[in-house]
Chain A
């Protein structure tokens, strides 16, 4: 029952399984236990899911208290449809290895780009430091 029609609220989402995307790119999946006006979240039985291509791996993480400003979005997971995915689950070691390889190729591509831009006299700040003011 919405006390303020036309507003968004997380109240209905309590105790449901959610996928939370953080600003640093991490994906957390857990049961939403607590919220507040800043959308600070308490997640229970949380799992960090790492996606690389069509594969993913889950790392169990326990209880998370996430500061609201770091959340990009969150969405409820339909428990019945959850397993209905074209993605392939792999072991933690494998996905971490895949991630490492992916980061490496990204870094190398980034280096080339930065160098090319530098040669043309341009410099673009790194995305993760853009928010610092």
Chain B
């Protein structure tokens, strides 16, 4: 599971973005693109020393200035549900079409080992499999 996909799932959720210069932007994700450029709304910008605050209705952050993003924990559960839903939908289609290749993007296996940490075991692709 790639981080971009995680971000796309995080739309409309609150995020915290820290830029390379130390400024922190708190806001709801409106959109993101393939380069991780993001659009936020209802943004609170805090300066590096956390001394100054700015409130903005929306802002655009270029991905190259981002140090990291923090996303809410619930996103992981949302992603898991989405993957399960996608898998179920694709699984039905596959049965109808009887396509040979099982890779069709169905059920990428979700987030590898979310509930299982070490010792490592990658859960197989539960969705899309017969």
Contacts and interface: CB of A to CB of B under 8 A. Distances in A.
Given A15-B113, A16-B120, A70 B67 contact: yes
B129 interface: no
B122 A15 contact: yes
A84 to B, nearest CB: 16
Contact of A65 (B3, B113, B116): B3
A67 B36 contact: yes
Interface stretch (A30-38, A87-95, A118-126): A30-38
A75 B41 CA distance: 36
B70 A70 contact: no
A22 interface: yes
Contact of A67 (B22, B66, B116, B120): B66
Interface of A: 14-17, 22, 24, 31, 33-34, 36, 40-42, 44, 61-67, 70, 79
Given A15-B116, A16-B118, A42-B1, 17 more contacts: A14-B113, A15-B122, A16-B117, A24-B67, A31-B117, A33-B114, A40-B3, A40-B36, A42-B3, A42-B6, A44-B114, A62-B72, A63-B75, A65-B7, A65-B68, A65-B71, A67-B66
Q: Give the 7 A-B residue pairs with the shortest CB-CB distance, closest first.
A: A15-B113, A65-B69, A66-B68, A63-B71, A65-B3, A62-B73, A70-B67
